[in-house]
Structure 1
Amino acid sequence: MQRAANSSPDASETHPRPNLHLVRTTAEMQEKQFLLRGTSPYRRASLALFLSGFATFSLLYCVQPLMPIFAADFGVSPAASSLSLSLSTGFLAFAIFCAAAVSESFGRRSLMFASLLGASVCTIACALVPSWHALLVIRALEGLLLGGVPAVAMAYLSEEIDPRGLGASMGLYIAGNAFGGMAGRVVTGTLAEFFSWRIALGSLGVLGLAAAIGFFLLLPASRNFAPRKGFDVRFHVRAWVGHIGNPALPLLFAIGFLAMGSFVTVYNYIGFRLVQPPYNLNQTELGLIFTVYLFGIAASWIAGLLGDRIGHFIVLPAGIAIAAVGVAVTLSSSLPLIVFGIVLLTSGFFVAHSVASALVGRLARGTKGHASALYLLSYYIGSSVAGSVGGYFWGADGWNAVVAFTLSLLALGMVAALTAAKLAKR
């Protein structure tokens, strides 16, 4: 009776349910106040989220070029030295899962700022610790704190940006991630060469503090998000289960795991290969190799535009294929070809990650923060698990085994991408 009072008598009879859902969704979109490209709030949000991505990934991956130094200074194996990153990404994966739910009650902006601030302080603390185990404990805590940024940032974009330009804005955010990942590696590698790894980490922590403050001052308040009162466990469980029941989304989550796992594995152990004969690269030279992240920045932005124009499920497998070709090229003994292979891997990975992130936002039916959390949970578990497992392949048969391992991951990712495309069409 209530439904009849709120609609025309024949509305539900003359239109099938899918059309009613489409009309309702269109009306809801028209009521929301999206950030439109070219406006001042859009530019502020873009810069703020770029800073958040920069800070998150520079703080997270700053230890990657230092792994050979950790192995020598603390007397640990290459696989053990990778724990300085794997523990952070592993705890970050767990924290992301919780952060999306917490942000539903406490808001997006404040949670992201607190996370960036705490992680910056942890990086400064890592520069002061006396022992290997203390460093690992702080890096694990840093991963927990950083979990408040990625899933919430993706949810903010999905909620606040005009859906017609979501791919481009997501690509720009991920470009900030790429720039941060590059800067963290290059800055720490260079400073460690001329000063020490402790000065390198301390300097990057101070840079993270500055980025966190800039983020807080720039980011516009959410206009399409209303915090939920209390913490309803059943609501969050239903949201997560609902996304897992969406046929295409679990495959996108798997792509995050497989693509990130292969990417981090190569970056973790390429340093061990290149500091050995016949290359004998020093820390500055090794750090400069990470400037290939510039290609990832461009690839993220271009992939977002192409996805919006020609189709995300066309661009996604192309990115995975480019990454696989890059991994294969690193089998060469020529240093220029190895670097070229890393360029291809980096470009292909960021294409795949940018497009998969946008697809999660597009295909999720409500509670986009929960969908982003599931994607990034898989993404960072891939970094943590594959990044450490790759060390055993390195120890077993060197670079050939690492390449075989990462190509296997990317092959599975290609299968997942093609299958997801078919399911999404249905």
Structure 2
Amino acid sequence: MIELGHPTFWRATLALCLGSFMIFANVYVTQPLLPMLAQDFNVSPLLAGWTFTVTTLMLGLSLLLYGPLSDALGRRGIMLLTMVGATLTTCALSFVDDYTSLVVLRALQGFFLGGLPAIAIAYMGDEFTKPAVAVAVGLYISGNSLGGIGGRLIGGFVGEWLGWNSAFMVMSVVSLVCLAVFAIALPKSEHFKPQRLHPGRMLKDLGSHLRNPMLVLAYIIGGLNFFIFVNQYSYITFVLSDEPYNLSSAFLGMLFLTYLTGTFGSAISGKVAVRVAQPWCMALGILILICGSLLTLSHSLVLIIAGFFANSFGFFFAHSSASSWVSHNATHAKASASSLYLVFYYLGASCGGFYLHPFWEHSGWPGVIFGSLLVLAVTLACSCWLGLRHRAVLAAA
């Protein structure tokens, strides 16, 4: 097993973090381009948002396939194959000239992008010791947030300078570099124990996870938090591109530098969880997310940005805690359990825009925040209930 601090640990973690960076840079590259896409294709903000929504939707659905498939066929090969597919699709997107083709290719891209997120944490669970997993998961999720930043910066700056087509071309080059390093650096699986590919067993495993309240509550928390968090960014781009801010695509891309606090939040979550039970870490992250959302109601651009810094820290702190909680509390088929968490997570991302749209249409940004607080109150209650249940189980033991 790979021990914490061993050179192989850093090599494997670097590979997984770079892979994570590549995946999430591709997912989020269109988000700062939404006002530009709406104008170029003459579509509404909701339809422009489909270039992001359909990717997360297909990514989420694909996890139902990749997780169980990797339990039978192995982790490393599937991650590599899907990353190759994602890179090729990104290149194809740079040649698109109509909205329908853009959405279809983004959907196909989302399907390929699901391979690594579905399997990476299960790979860690197979190959790393438990202390190493706790640290590696936090660093891996930091790679998620850095990928979100990188993709949005590429989309914003390259999109404004050369057009949105060129943003996909640059993204394909970045993806190719990350893919090459990943293939060289990631160690081969040494401790993977294959299971027979049996559809009935796959469904049984998924069903057993859904009957485990210790997992289901984490699924709900992760899915509904992302349901709100990522779609707030989509709607704020329309706020800040309009009067009185009039920010360009490049500056909208820079807004996503607020994800840097999420990188820090993910990285320290494992260390905090050593002292504080993970459900209470989730609750703390949600409270910070609520406070940050309220701060964005200010008309000051500085305070809006500060609110998103807080949001990012709180969200990724809670997400890292919930993801690690699932890995620790799944008694079997860990890849399936982690994949199911991510299904809830990405389906939340794809559905949140539809939930928030009526609030946006009725009351603008204050309406979006009101709708956000309703959902965050639910996830806060779930995390507190999970914390109390966990305490009761420990007391009984």
TM-score calculated relative to the size of structure 2: 0.96
Q: Shift in Å at residue 228 of structure 1? A: 2.7
Match of 2:118 among 136, 140, 151: 151
Query: What is the letter of the counterpart of residue 389 of structure 2?
Result: L
Match of 1:47 among 3, 14, 18: 14
Q: Secondary structure at the match of 2:115?
A: coil
Q: Share of identical aligned residues, percent? A: 35
Match of 2:147 among 180, 186, 189: 180
Give, in whole Å, the separation in 2 of the partners of 1:224 and 1:341: 44
1:317 and 2:283 aligned: yes
1:218 and 2:182 aligned: no
Deviation beyond 3 Å, 4+ runs, structure 1: none
Larger mean CA deviation between 192-201 and 389-398 belongs to 389-398
Give, in whole Å, the separation in 2 of the partners of 1:396 and 1:81: 19
**What is the 5 A alignment of 1:22-421?**
34-229=1-196, 231-421=197-387
Larger mean CA deviation between 212-221 and 171-180 belongs to 212-221
Unaligned runs of 5+ in 1: 1-33
Q: Shift in Å at residue 159 of structure 1? A: 2.2
Give, in whole Å, the separation in 1 of the partners of 2:345 and 2:368: 19
Per-residue CA deviation, residues 396-416 of structure 1 (Å, 9 max, x unaligned), is 221011111111111111011
Aligned residues: 392
Q: Shift in Å at residue 222 of structure 1? A: 1.7
Query: What is the letter of the counterpart of residue 262 of structure 2?
Result: G
Give, in whole Å, the separation in 2 of the partners of 1:293 and 1:301: 13
Per-residue CA deviation, residues 226-270 of structure 1 (Å, 9 max, x unaligned), is 2234x2112212211221222211000001111101111111111
Give, in whole Å, the separation in 2 of the partners of 1:144 and 1:118: 9
Unaligned runs of 5+ in 2: none
Q: Secondary structure at the match of 1:226?
A: coil
Larger mean CA deviation between 177-186 and 303-312 belongs to 303-312
Give, in whole Å, the separation in 1 of the partners of 2:357 and 2:71: 38
Give, in whole Å, the separation in 1 of the partners of 2:73 and 2:2: 22
Q: Shift in Å at residue 162 of structure 1? A: 1.4
Give, in whole Å, the separation in 1 of the partners of 2:58 and 2:322: 22
Give, in whole Å, the separation in 1 of the partners of 2:191 and 2:377: 39
Equivalent residue, structure 2, for 1:31 = none
Q: Shift in Å at residue 59 of structure 1? A: 0.5
Q: Shift in Å at residue 108 of structure 1? A: 0.6
Mapped contact 2:19–2:178 kept (Cα < 8 A):
yes
Give, in whole Å, the separation in 2 of the partners of 1:161 and 1:48: 14
Q: Secondary structure at the match of 1:337?
A: helix
- The structure with the largest alpha-carbon Rg is 1
Check 1:388–1:124 CA distance in 2 against 1; reply closer, same or farther (3 A cut).
Answer: farther
Q: Shift in Å at residue 105 of structure 1? A: 2.1
Aligned-residue CA RMSD (Å): 1.2
Give, in whole Å, the separation in 2 of the partners of 1:388 and 1:47: 36
Q: Secondary structure at the match of 1:248?
A: helix
Mapped contact 1:292–1:342 kept (Cα < 8 A):
yes
Q: Shift in Å at residue 391 of structure 1? A: 2.9
Query: What is the letter of the counterpart of residue 336 of structure 2?
Result: H
Query: What is the letter of the counterpart of residue 341 of structure 2?
Result: Y
Q: Shift in Å at residue 56 of structure 1? A: 0.7
